[in-house]
């Protein structure tokens, strides 16, 4: 399935039904009064988070969602029926922006979470509601109110506990394929991964965590170079970053610095995100000789570091345990108060 993480849609809530102007005309009721009923309310357009969805692809082919209008009021004080809401299911992790102003109006992260994107119009009053002691036979009714219409920009940010980052060909796809059931494309050329991949990793203690493999970043990614800008948003929700550094690189420490600078340029909060530096490909020719001094330089920066071999499996169990322990502490820490989106 094609991965799409941005879409623009238009939502139009239903108009309210018109109120009715009517008078009783019945046998043996010589002075029948006004009996026009109220119109029904128009249908709302509601966004609902669904954990079974993983892309915004459907919205590329259906950009318009329209709810039905409420039924009109009728005589005998019969109210028009309210229209049913239109439910639009979106992936968990979808943020909703006003396409015209850029304002963030909703953030749907939990399965079943709902947000009313456009409210239906209120039904108009019938002439029965205008009856009073001084106006016994009102001859007016009210039309239904129009429903809201909005243009929305949907942006998907994957919900994962751990994000894998690094320069192209640092070994991210190979690593996620060894620690989870994810099967991303693996090849010996840059930008093999063109879309984010998710994998579930067992921590060996009855628990698990979700890992996101993001397409390789390059210098200038925060400015739109390469694929970085398109997918950097997916690391914003992660609690922990696994930063993969290729031991075979000409300057592995510089590679580490480049990626951290790009993360900080995209979102300063990412610079403060807990990080484990994972040295890869140390088992290849000359890698072991570089490993000890490289670890020393990275530890001098105050970063947690370890070496793994995704091919042989060496160090993977230690990495999973360390990531699991860190996540356990991060989950136990008090969460920042999230603004509540009132429907």
> What per-residue confidence (pLDDT) applies to 273?
85
Q: What is the 3-state secondary structure (H, E, C) of the chain?
A: CCCCCEEEEEEECCCCCCCCCCECCECCECCCCECCCCCCCCCCEEEEEECCCCCCCHHHHCCEEECCCCCCCECCCECCCCCCCEEEEEECCEEEEECCCCCEEEEECCCCCEEEEECCCCCCCCHHHHCCCCCCCCCCCCCCCCCCEEEEEEEECCCCCEEEECCCCCCHHHHHHHHCCCCCCCCCCCCCCCCCEEEEEECCCCCEEEEEECCCCCCCHHHCCCCHHHHHHHHCCCCEEEEEEECCCCCHHHHHHHHHHHHHHHCHHHHHCCEEEEEECCCCCCHHHHHHHHHHHHHCCCCEEEECCCCCCCCHHHHHHHHHHHHHHHHHCCCCCCCCCCC
For the stretch 61-110, pLDDT in tens is 889 999 999 999 998 889 999 999 999 999 888 999 999 998 999 999 88
For 325, residues 6+ apart whose C-beta sits below 8 A from its C-beta are: none
Closest by CA position to 310, among listed 196, 176, 188:
176
- Say what the pLDDT of residue 20 is: 94
Q: Which residues, 6+ apart, have CB-to-CB distance to 229 below 8 Å?
A: 221, 222, 223, 266
Q: What is the pLDDT of residue 1?
A: 44
CB 181 within 8 A of CB 169: no
Pick the CATH number of 6-156 from 2.40.160.20, 1.10.4160.10, 2.70.210.12, 3.30.420.40: 2.70.210.12
Q: According to the model, what pLDDT value does residue 201 have? A: 80
| pLDDT for position 220 | 53
The residue assigned the tokens 């459907």 is 58
Residues near 211 by beta carbon (within 8 Å), at least 6 away in sequence: 160, 161, 162, 163, 164, 176, 179, 180, 182, 198, 199, 200, 201, 242
- At 295, list the tokens: 């670890």
Residue owning tokens 């239109």: 86
pLDDT of the residue at 16: 95
pTM to 2 decimals? 0.71
Low-confidence ranges of the chain (pLDDT < 50): 1, 184-193, 221-222, 226, 338-343
CATH of 162-332, one of 3.30.420.480, 3.60.70.12, 3.40.50.300, 3.30.479.30: 3.40.50.300
Domain ranges of the chain: 6-156, 162-332
User: Shortest CA distance to 17 belongs to which of 69, 85, 74, 66?
Assistant: 69
């Amino acid at each position: 399935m094609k991965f799409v993480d941005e879409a623009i849609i238009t939502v139009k809530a239903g108009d309210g039904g018109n109120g009715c102007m009517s008078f009783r005309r019945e046998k043996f009721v010589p002075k029948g009064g006004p009996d026009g009923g109220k119109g029904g309310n128009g249908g709302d357009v509601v966004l609902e988070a669904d954990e079974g969805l993983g892309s915004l692809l459907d919205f590329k082919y259906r950009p318009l969602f329209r709810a039905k209008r409420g039924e009109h009021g009728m005589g005998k004080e019969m109210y028009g029926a309210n229209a049913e809401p239109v439910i639009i299911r979106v992936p968990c992790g979808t943020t909703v922006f006003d396409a015209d102003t850029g304002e963030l109006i909703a953030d749907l992260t939990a399965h079943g979470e709902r947000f009313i994107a456009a409210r239906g119009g209120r039904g108009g009053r019938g002439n029965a509601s205008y009856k009073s002691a001084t106006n016994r036979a009102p001859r007016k009714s009210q039309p239904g109110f129009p429903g809201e219409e909005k243009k929305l920009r949907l942006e998907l940010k994957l919900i994962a506990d751990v994000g894998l980052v690094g320069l192209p060909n640092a070994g991210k796809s190979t690593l996620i394929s060894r620690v989870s059931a994810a099967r991303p494309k693996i090849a010996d050329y840059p930008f093999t991964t063109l879309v984010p991949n998710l994998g579930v990793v067992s921590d060996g203690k009855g628990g698990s965590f979700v890992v996101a493999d993001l397409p390789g970043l390059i210098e200038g990614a925060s400015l739109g170079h390469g694929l970085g800008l398109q997918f950097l948003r997916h690391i914003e929700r992660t609690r922990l970053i696994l930063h993969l550094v290729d031991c075979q690189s000409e300057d592995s420490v510089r590679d580490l610095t480049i990626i951290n600078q790009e993360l900080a340029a995209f979102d300063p909060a990412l610079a403060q995100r807990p990080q484990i530096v994972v040295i890869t490909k140390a088992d290849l020719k000359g890698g072991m000789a570089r490993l000890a001094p490289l670890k020393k330089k990275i530890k001098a920066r105050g970063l947690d570091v370890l070496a793994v071999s995704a091919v042989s499996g060496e160090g993977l169990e230690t990495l999973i345990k360390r990531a699991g322990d860190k996540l356990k502490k991060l989950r136990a820490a008090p969460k920042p108060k999230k603004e509540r989106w009132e429907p």
